């Protein structure tokens, strides 16, 4: 158990803070996106959320190239950024993100992006508090999202506890694939939980998310038994070729309807994040399934 002071100073890695959100819990909210995820969903639209550490991304479409700029290469003394014989900028992603921090600052076109920043709880709470008046009027507050926000257990719990001390409404959006102990501790400081159930087919779940379904449903049942008063919104992203059949959705809806005070929300599938895969030097696995 941390005291007030140690909570405020606790640090974690955050990749975005989105103010004035109306889709992630009641009212107007500030959504804090924590880096790191326990799943690898094929359709993930936030690939920058998956790894725990800050990571470098490069948008070739914005880059002025070596002939017209080349500042990154001139400033980089250790080959983390270099160019090939055709003048193409190449990134050695095995270097620590600290090496890239300065290069991101000097890039005039923001072609270099560092996803993830180490921030402390007090710093985040002071950003969140700027919109207190809107929370008060709309019933909003702070939402922790990711990735899987509870993967950074101590940081997430400190954020929630601190928000509670400041009388800010708290919501956590979880994929459910997390230890029960972590979930149980975090629930003590939550006003609502958004819990993803993507499919009830265990084989499909494992194939598309690289994680088993059973521990998620176990957590869901324990949550209902241990915190019967905690409102739960089950969320299902509707993904083409995965769960977009009426039977599949009906199965999840019927499962949810067995529980009191539990709502079910369908989330539309989108491809807004697909470009980020190439920025991060990764393959977008969903492409080949969409174009079959």
- Secondary structure of the chain in HEC code, one letter for each residue: CCCHHHHHHCEEEEEEEEEEECCCCCCCEEEEEECCCCCCCCCCCCHHHCCCCCEEEECCCCCCHHHHCCHHHHHCCCCCEEECCCCCEEECCCCCHHHHHHHHHHCCCCCEEEECEEEEHHHHHHHHHCCHHHHHHHCCEEEEECCCHHHCHHHHHHHHHHHHHCCCEEEEEECCCCCHHHHHHHHCCCCEEEEECCCCCHHHHHHHHCCCCHHHHHHHHHHHHHCCCCCEEEEEEECCCCCCCHHHHHHHHHHHHCCCCEEEEEEECCCCCHHHHHHCCCCCCHHHHHCC
Candidates 31, 72, 151, 216; binder of ligand SF4 (CB under 6 A) is 72
Interaction of residue 101 with ligand SF4, rule CB under 6 A: no
Interaction of residue 69 with ligand SF4, rule CB under 6 A: yes
Tell me how far, at minimum, the Cβ of 228 lies from ligand SF4, in Å: 53
Candidates 57, 89, 171, 190; binder of ligand SF4 (CB under 6 A) is 89
Nearer to ligand SF4, 91 or 213 (CB): 91
Interaction of residue 93 with ligand SF4, rule CB under 6 A: no
Nearer to ligand SF4, 69 or 99 (CB): 69
Nearer to ligand SF4, 99 or 266 (CB): 99
Tell me how far, at minimum, the Cβ of 111 lies from ligand SF4, in Å: 4
Using alpha carbons only, give the angle 133, 130, 109 rounded to the nearest 5 degrees.
135
Interaction of residue 104 with ligand SF4, rule CB under 6 A: no
Tell me how far, at minimum, the Cβ of 272 lies from ligand SF4, in Å: 23
Only one of the segments 63-71, 134-142, 219-227, 265-273 lies at the binding site for ligand SF4 (rule: CB under 6 A); that segment is 63-71
Tell me how far, at minimum, the Cβ of 274 lies from ligand SF4, in Å: 21
Only one of the segments 29-37, 108-116, 134-142, 225-233 lies at the binding site for ligand SF4 (rule: CB under 6 A); that segment is 108-116
User: By rule CB under 6 A, what count of residues binds ligand SF4?
Assistant: 13
Nearer to ligand SF4, 80 or 172 (CB): 80
φ and ψ at 248, to 5 degrees?
A: -60, -45
Candidates 30, 46, 97, 111; binder of ligand SF4 (CB under 6 A) is 111
Comparing C-alpha atoms, which of 99, 78, 81 is closest to residue 90?
Answer: 81
Nearer to ligand SF4, 109 or 188 (CB): 109
Give contact residues for ligand SF4 (rule: CB under 6 A). Answer: 63-65, 69-72, 89, 107-109, 111-112
């Amino acid at each position: 158990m941390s005291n007030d002071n140690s909570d405020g100073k606790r640090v974690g890695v955050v990749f975005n803070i989105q103010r004035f959100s109306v889709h992630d819990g009641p009212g107007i909210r500030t959504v804090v996106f924590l880096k790191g995820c326990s799943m690898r969903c094929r359709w993930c639209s936030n690939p920058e959320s998956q790894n725990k550490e800050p990571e470098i991304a490069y948008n070739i479409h914005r880059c002025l190239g070596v002939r017209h700029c080349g500042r990154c290469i001139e400033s980089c003394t250790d080959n983390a950024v270099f160019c090939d014989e055709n003048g193409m900028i190449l990134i050695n992603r095995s270097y620590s993100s600290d090496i890239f921090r300065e290069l991101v600052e000097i890039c005039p076109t923001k072609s270099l992006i560092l996803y993830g920043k180490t921030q402390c709880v007090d710093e985040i709470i002071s950003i969140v508090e700027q919109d207190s008046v809107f929370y008060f009027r709309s019933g909003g507050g702070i939402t922790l999202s990711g990735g899987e926000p509870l993967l950074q257990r101590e940081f997430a719990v400190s954020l929630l506890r601190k928000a509670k001390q400041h009388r800010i409404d708290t919501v956590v959006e979880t994929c459910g694939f997390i230890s029960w102990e972590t979930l149980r501790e975090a629930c003590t400081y939550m006003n609502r939980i958004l819990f993803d159930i993507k499919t009830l087919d265990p084989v499909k779940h494992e194939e598309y998310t690289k994680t088993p379904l059973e521990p998620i449903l176990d957590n869901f049942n324990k949550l209902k038994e241990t915190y019967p008063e905690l409102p739960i919104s089950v969320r299902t992203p509707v993904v083409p070729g995965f769960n977009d059949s009426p039977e599949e959705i009906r199965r999840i809806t019927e499962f949810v309807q067995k529980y009191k005070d539990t709502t079910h929300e369908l989330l539309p599938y989108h491809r807004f994040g697909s470009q980020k895969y190439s920025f991060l030097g990764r393959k977008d696995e969903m492409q080949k399934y969409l174009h079959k």
